[in-house]
Amino acid sequence: MSRSVLVTGGNRGIGRAIAEAFVAQGDKVAVTSRNGDAPEGAFAVPCEITDSASVDAAFAAVEEHQGPVEVLVANAGITRDTLLLRMTDDDWSQVIDTNLTGSFRVAKRAAKGMLRLRRGRIVFVSSVVGLLGSPGQVNYAASKSGLVGMARSIARELGSRSITANVVAPGFIETDMTAVLPEEQQAAYRDQIPLGRMGTTAEIANAVTWLASDDAGYVTGAVIPVDGGLGMGH
C-alpha cells in the first residue's frame, strides 16, 4: 500500500537516501529542506525546521498534495562542534533548536493527522554520540539523547492509537556532515569501529524503512544502532 511519507532534511545525505528508499517502495514521499530540493519522484517542500509556522505551512502543503502524513522521518540536523568552554549560548541553542525542538515541532504536527487516522510511524534520526558522548559535541550529543526521551514518551502517549515512535542511531556515515572533519579525525573514528569502515546512507535508510514497515508493527520506543558496532552497549 502506498503511504504518505514525510522526510525532513531529505534533499541530501542520510535524509535523501531515506526518501529515495521510500520512493523505490512506491510510497508517496514529501521531502523538506531549507533549499527546497528533492530526489526524483519526491515532492519538494521548503521548510525551516526552527520555525513552527513554516513547519505548519509545509505540512499543509504535503497534506494537500498526498494526504495526511502516515510515516514521519525526523532527520534534519546540524552540528556546531567546539569544546565546552568555547561553546557559546548560540552554538548550544542553534543545535538544540534544530535537532531537538525541530523534531518536536514536526512530531507534534504529524501526530495530529496520525491520531485522526489511528495509525502512524514516527522515526527520529539520532546519533551514536547521543548515548556514547563525544568531546566537542556537548550540544549535539544532548540534542540527540533528548530524542530518545522524546520518542519513548510519544511511544507511551500514542501507542494506544497504533502510532509507533522509534529512534535510529547512526554511527559514522559518509555525508557532507562528516566530509568536513579532518582526515586524522576520520581515521581515528574508523579505528574505533569494529566493522572498520564508515557506514553508507543506504544502510541507515534500510533501518528506517524497516521501522516503517508492517514487519516492525510491534516495535516501539526502540533505539536501533546502525553504527558498525561503534556504540555497543550504549
**What does the H/E/C string look like for 30-95?**
EEEECCCCCCCCCEEEECCCCCHHHHHHHHHHHHHHHCCCCEEEECCCCCCCCCHHHCCHHHHHHH
Of the candidate spans 62-70, 76-84, 159-167, 215-223, the one that interacts with ligand NDP by CB under 6 A turns out to be 76-84
Residue 120 in the binding site for ligand NDP (CB under 6 A): no
Q: Which of 106/163 has CB closer to ligand NDP?
A: 106
- Determine the distance from the C-alpha atom of residue 47 to the mean position of all C-alpha atoms in its chain, rounded to a whole number: 15
Binding residue for ligand NDP, selected from 48, 56, 63, 91, defined by CB under 6 A: 48
Separation between Cα atoms, residue 171 and residue 68, nearest integer Å: 31
Binding site membership for NADP(+): which residues? 9-12, 75, 140-144, 173
- Determine the distance from the C-alpha atom of residue 212 to the mean position of all C-alpha atoms in its chain, rounded to a whole number: 13
Enumerate residues 87-116 that contact ligand NDP by CB under 6 A. 98
Set of cell numbers at residue 214? 508492517
Separation between Cα atoms, residue 34 and residue 48, nearest integer Å: 6
Residue 166 in the binding site for ligand NDP (CB under 6 A): no
Residue 127 in the binding site for ligand NDP (CB under 6 A): yes
Q: 218 catalytic, yes or no? A: no
Binding residue for ligand NDP, selected from 3, 22, 33, 109, defined by CB under 6 A: 33
Binding residue for ligand NDP, selected from 78, 87, 96, 117, defined by CB under 6 A: 78
Residue 176 in the binding site for ligand NDP (CB under 6 A): yes
**H or E segment to which residue 139 belongs:** helix 138-158
Q: Which of 74/114 has CB closer to ligand NDP?
A: 74
- At 167, the amino acid letter reads V
Binding residue for ligand NDP, selected from 175, 193, 225, 228, defined by CB under 6 A: 175
Q: What are the residue numbers of the active site? A: 140
